[in-house]
Amino acid sequence: MATENNVKTAQQGNEAERNSPLQTSKGNTTINDTVVQKLAGVSAREVPGVYSMGNAARRAFDSISERIPGSQTNVSGGVSVEKGEKQAAIDLSIVIEYGTSVVDVADGIRRNVIRTVEQATGLQVIEVNIDVTDVHLPNEEDDDKDSTDRELQ
């Protein structure tokens, strides 16, 4: 009797695993890594205190590509994803604004990214790792604009 109950419980557990939002009895849904990257990138940028995403090389490439007419903004820059059938782990590289709390910005990013990715995809986000690569100082924007203007002349 106990063995029959254990078998039934195991079968019910297997059915519950198969019947995730992405794997149902009526078919499976797969999500490409780039979908998760874009969702995470956009939701991370929405958090106050995030100046930009990516390391210095990525930001330099993005600033050049933004000047090309018809080019699109790369919203997945600074985002890498490891994704399985039901779960995802997300790594982000960010630059924060001077004067903001790294801890507060990181907490806001984690909340926003997890909420957005889980609601949009049905994947369970198991972790969001954040690498703060730089701090944007208020006077850097003026310096960047001046050097860009000189390069274009």
Asked if residues 80 and 120 have their Cβ atoms less than 8 Å apart, the reply is: no
How far apart (Å, rounded) are the C-alpha atoms in residues 59 and 63?
Answer: 6
Q: Could you tell me the domains of the chain?
A: 1-28 (no CATH), 31-152 (3.30.70.1350)
Q: What one-letter code names the amino acid at 40? A: A
Query: Is the pLDDT reported for residue 119 higher than 70?
Result: yes
Give tens-digit pLDDT for 10-68. Answer: 444 444 455 577 888 889 899 999 999 999 999 999 999 999 998 655 555 555 555 55
pTM (two decimals): 0.71
